[in-house]
Structure 1
Amino acid sequence: MKTHSAHFYPFIPAGGVGSRLWPLSRADAPKFLLDLTGSGHSLLRSTYDRLIDLSSDSVMVITGRTHAQAVKQQLPECTDTDLVLEPSPKDSGAAIGLASAIISLRDPEAIIGSFAADHVVEPTEEFHRVVEEAVVTAASGRIVTIGITPTSPSTGFGYIRASENLNIEEAPSALKVEDFVEKPDEDTARAYVRSGHYTWNAGMFVAPAQLLLKHLQANQPELHDGIMEIARAWDTDQRDEAMDRVWPSLPKIAIDYAVAEPAAAAGDVAMVPASFTWDDVGDFAAISRLNRAVNVDEVAVIGKNKRVMTDNASGIVASDTSRIVALIGVEDIVVVDTPDALLVTTQEHAQRVKNAVNSLKENGETDVL
């Protein structure tokens, strides 16, 4: 990396279940722990490998305590001091805030980078170049988000509206952010894409840790004070006591509301547009699109079971049973076969899998979640 790299510390918030990928993704095996692209590595492992060469030290991971063992198995190089285990889910404000606080106390000049554990990014070289621009921009005193050029008028993402170029010498693409926009309806999304002034908000942030914490203190003082108390105890033998005592009382709020939106209103946010390909692997249609495993005709096959037979069929099969799966005369089908749950849908309706998960919760069928 270029200037300021000696103070860059990326970290990985690894949370969420990925309910649109049920029954492949479960509470005890969320999507970031799975290989969903046929690469031979989980999404978490791939994210860690993508970031480690950018870091001036190590890469911190923030995840739930229930995933501690699995994360340690996948990332044996991640030390206990760089593995933040949440006692309970608190949304991204607490996770990103605490990681930033810990790092800021270790290095007051730190620039942090927050990158989700379950995204697919290619190629790595171009990702590194964009992050380098973001680090330089952050060093100028701004919170920086990486904007994804929309490929469709998606209603599933928030949007970023940017304006003039900031004329930063080593970050020629950096733009001033005017505001963040919530997930729009379809007509509004189409207007955003046509305008050319909006990018998808992928939740990637690069920022001076002290500036991020300053905005957190101004907008969420209770959350700020709580995470700072935990952070001050982090590199001591009081870490677990402070976490168990303070964490349950922290407000639950997304980093967008706690920091990004008010910081943008104050003129402190910039955006660097992504020139790499990006996918949040949000549903089974995405897995079919991204999968690099061996295909049977036009059917992508992932999972332990490769006993799939097809006849004039297309789609995706994810199977962890020993059953033969035969697809005949069906298009864009999605079949997920596990020992205790079977999902059959189409790629067109892949986003609706979350509705099935909600129904299972309401009916008390939590043993399969």
Structure 2
Amino acid sequence: MTSESILAARIDDFYPVIPAGGVGSRLWPMSRPERPKFLIDLLGTGSTLIQDTVARLEPLGAEVMIVTGARHADAVAEQVPQVPAGNVVAEPSPRDSMAAIALAAAIIEARHGEQIMGSFAADHVIPDGEAFRAVVVTAIQAARTGKVVTIGIEPTEPSSAFGYIQAGEPLADAPGAFAVEAFTEKPDPDTAAAMLAQGGYAWNAGMFVVSTSVLLGHLARLQPMLEAGVRAIAAAWDDPGRDDALAEYWPTLTKIAIDHAIAEPVAAAGGVAMVPGPFSWHDVGDFDSLATLLTPDADGVTRIGRVPAVSAVDSPGLTVIGGSKPLAVVGIADAVVVETDEAILITSRTAAQRVKDVDL
């Protein structure tokens, strides 16, 4: 069965999971602990990142599940009312991506038995939903062979902002998928350039597709206390004992990312596959990357949520977000000015990564 024919209907045993965590500290003051970036209309399109993510995944699977912090659960439920209330899973505290994804897997399996699940971050920008879904279908087919499957993004530059996946030989029993030789943490620019020159590398976007039993089986072997903890919580999730189980087991779960807990060790044993993702993908991590996704107005100024006048004098590449007063910028190239009800930020696109160091 081809990807195109499968896309004509939902895949009944596929459950998309959206981990919605993190603050987006490089996008301060737009993004704040009480208003993380996945809850923001970051591109000025009229929909938030999590709304876009749910809309992108809904055509694929049986049900969408979202795992988010307890403080954000109500806002998430309000923004995506089409997701059943029982599928918005609230974490009492952050325990990193492995605990969130494993809890979702355990709840899905407790409710429905073994299923195929996919984990996709809430804050990525993927303009071509059809191309994305076609790649996910290929990954689902590969996951049916028992592999942990990741989607590798075709690099557009030797970026040091992402980890890399080294692809090996094509898999005979999973058309369109390749064996994963290794994962590489964020390299320096020279190393990234050498990887791209060599070929066979993709960006690691943190997307995983895998059978729930395969994922939890690897976890039982590699992180047994974590697996036992999420199993115990999941067994009580739909019963009155949920709060007691969370209080007992959640604080004991190891804080670890899925890359370190599962992807890297399982890849070393030959258990991970990669499906290339040729679609456009953006991890909007700072104001520089955000500005690349926006179209300047006729005067050369890029605006989001901005009505009052802006004057850019010898200041090409100006990006202005929000604000209620007229603004003038003189003699500063690639400036970024952000105003919210709580704070004002003035920076440049070249210094955008340093916004995370703001202490306010």
Is 1:164–2:155 an aligned residue pair? no
Alignment partner of 1:342 out of 335, 341, 344: 344
* Match runs of 1:1-369 below 5 Å: 2=6, 5-56=11-62, 58-168=63-173, 172-291=175-294, 295=297, 297-303=299-305, 305-312=307-314, 313-319=316-322, 321-356=323-358, 360=359, 365=360
Q: Cα offset for 1:331?
A: 2.0
Measured against aligned partners, the alpha-carbon deviations of 1:170-197 in whole angstroms (never above 9, x if no partner) come to x532100011111112221111111111
Q: 1:114 to 1:326 in 2, by over 3 A?
A: same
Letter in 2 for 1:41: S
Q: Cα offset for 1:334?
A: 0.8
Contact 1:91 1:252 in 2 (8 A): yes
Measured against aligned partners, the alpha-carbon deviations of 1:278-322 in whole angstroms (never above 9, x if no partner) come to 001011011111125x73522211135544333443231112x32
Distance in 2 (alpha carbons) for counterparts of 1:338 and 1:122 = 27
Contact 1:38 1:291 in 2 (8 A): no
Distance in 2 (alpha carbons) for counterparts of 1:349 and 1:254 = 27
Contact 1:122 1:277 in 2 (8 A): yes
Q: Which residues of structure 2 form unaligned runs of 5+?
A: none
Distance in 2 (alpha carbons) for counterparts of 1:164 and 1:209 = 25
Distance in 2 (alpha carbons) for counterparts of 1:176 and 1:68 = 37
Aligned residue-pair number: 353
The DSSP-based 3-state class of the residue aligned with 1:5 is coil
The DSSP-based 3-state class of the residue aligned with 1:54 is coil
Distance in 2 (alpha carbons) for counterparts of 1:149 and 1:51 = 20
Contact 1:149 1:273 in 2 (8 A): yes
Q: 1:194 to 1:265 in 2, by over 3 A?
A: same
Distance in 2 (alpha carbons) for counterparts of 1:192 and 1:142 = 25
Letter in 2 for 1:308: V
Taking structure 1 as the reference length, the TM-score comes to 0.91
Distance in 1 (alpha carbons) for counterparts of 2:294 and 2:249 = 42
Letter in 2 for 1:176: A
Distance in 2 (alpha carbons) for counterparts of 1:318 and 1:296 = 17
Q: 1:296 to 1:72 in 2, by over 3 A?
A: farther
Distance in 2 (alpha carbons) for counterparts of 1:304 and 1:67 = 26
Distance in 1 (alpha carbons) for counterparts of 2:245 and 2:298 = 53
Measured against aligned partners, the alpha-carbon deviations of 1:78-116 in whole angstroms (never above 9, x if no partner) come to 223101101111100100010011112223330000000
Contact 1:230 1:246 in 2 (8 A): yes
Q: Cα offset for 1:217?
A: 0.9
Letter in 2 for 1:75: V
Contact 1:308 1:326 in 2 (8 A): yes
Taking structure 2 as the reference length, the TM-score comes to 0.94
Q: Which residues of structure 1 form unaligned runs of 5+?
A: none
The DSSP-based 3-state class of the residue aligned with 2:132 is helix
Q: Cα offset for 1:250?
A: 1.1
Distance in 2 (alpha carbons) for counterparts of 1:147 and 1:118 = 17
Contact 1:315 1:347 in 2 (8 A): no
Distance in 2 (alpha carbons) for counterparts of 1:143 and 1:10 = 15
Distance in 1 (alpha carbons) for counterparts of 2:59 and 2:237 = 25
**What is the Cα-based RMSD across aligned positions, in Å?**
1.7
